[in-house]
Amino acid sequence: MTRHFLDPRLAGLVRYVPGEVPRDGRPVIKLNTNENPFPPSPAVVKALSAAGAERLNLYPDPEARGLTRAVADLFGLDTDRVVTGNGSDELLAFCFHGFCPRGAVFADVTYGFYPVFCRMFGVPFETVPLRDDFSLNVDDYRGRRETVFLANPNAPTGLALALPDVRRLLEQDRDRLTVVDEAYVDFGAESAAPLLDEYDNLLVIRTFSKSRQLAGVRLAFALGSSSLAADLMTLKFGFNPYSVNAQALAAGEAALRDEAYFECTRREIMRNRETLQEGLRALGAEVVPSKANFVFTRPPAAAALLHRILRERGILVRHFPDEPGRPARTGAWLRVSVGTAEQVGAFLDALRDILRDMRRGTADAAL
Ligand code: PMP
């Protein structure tokens, strides 16, 4: 008999399922986890070498003062309104754990980690269905008292809510906190950061994983009122004051300083996104107009099968199967991260081939 030591309150825990990380060294085109296809800025690589492995015997600055100053300057905020974290996943975890006294509410189609956090921390949650076109109706949140989690742009849809709508959401209830998860905002959406001085019921979370090419170092920050930031800092120091390591601090500062590289790479991603969207439409796919570094698309063939065949050909994209007992929403769709121009071209070529083979009835045979 296997003995179980897990607290029964956590028996219903499910794991968040991250996108596949290739293992066997086979070259793949990785368009499944919305990473940035470009390497970090040369300034980051230099800062990492200069950060000095020989200083790794020392703990990093738990207050991340250098990086916090750089972030505060970028947003024109005082440093006591900035909290850094080990990726936005960590900061989100603190928010679900500490800022949801009445539970949490979020869209039915959104970042799949939100319900996982809720189960982890025993936070009751409700989901609010998006419209059929995946757009979010702010009025659906009127009267809700739970803490609102809004991914903007949303994942996996790529749709963004305009600033006046975010403001309406905040206005609905000044005593209700809204956490705006802006992981993808740099790819063409509007940030809620300019609303921070007006609304103390707003927390904005940003990451270095997407537009700053640093998914591997795990680095993010939150912006809020000084009181919200102080509480978030208490949550962080109650868990791990050193969760942002020395290398991440050095890399983050250097990345923020290299504005030119940031601009040039995010513009290229936005250009490649247009190519990807046009190419998909030309192949008969439905496309949700994206403001992120990925495209949510309904291909003209079974998404699960396409996902599998693409994988066999070394191209990873993401498929979110419908969940039993829930209305079908995402099973017919694929989420494709925007890669380099070559990667986008290779993906579209492969998809064209596969669809042609399917029409001839040979695609499955190729598996
Ligand atoms: N929020 C959203 C909406 C995301 O899609 C992701 C990436 N999976 C995250 C947060 C987590 O990003 P990070 O790498 O900063 O933990």
123-148 residue pLDDT tens: 999 999 999 999 999 999 999 999 99
Strands 82-85 and 334-337 turn out to be unpaired
Give the closest residue to 187 by CA, choosing from 288, 270, 287: 270
Closest ligand 1 atom, CA of 92?
10
Probe target for ligand 1 pocket from 34, 209, 221, 291, with the most ligand atoms within 8 Å of CB: 209
pLDDT of 35 strictly over 90: yes
**229 residue type, one letter:** A
Q: Which two tokens stand for residue 12?
A: 């219903």
Q: What is the mean pLDDT of residues 160-171?
A: 98
The pLDDT value given to residue 198: 98
* Ligand 1 pocket, residue 88 CB under 6 Å: yes
> What's the chain's average pLDDT?
95
pLDDT digits 0-9 by tens, 272-303 = 999 999 999 999 999 999 999 999 999 999 99
The pLDDT value given to residue 103: 98
C-alpha dihedral sign at 80, 86, 89, 95: negative
Domain boundaries, the chain: 19-39+260-366, 42-257
Banded model confidence at residue 176, pLDDT cuts 50, 70, 90: very high
Neighbours of 59 (CB within 10 A): 10
Q: What are phi and psi of 125, to 5 degrees?
A: -140, 155
CA 338 to chain centre: 14
Residue with tokens 């040369």: 42
At the top level of CATH, which class does the domain 19-39+260-366 belong to? alpha beta
* Ligand 1 pocket, residue 350 CB under 6 Å: no
The pLDDT value given to residue 363: 60
pLDDT digits 0-9 by tens, 300-327 = 999 999 999 999 999 999 999 998 888 8
Neighbours of 17 (CB within 10 A): 10
The dihedral region occupied by 103, where left means phi > 0, alpha psi between -120 and 50, and beta the remainder, is left
Task: State pTM to two decimals.
Answer: 0.95
Architecture per CATH, 42-257: 3-Layer(aba) Sandwich (3.40)
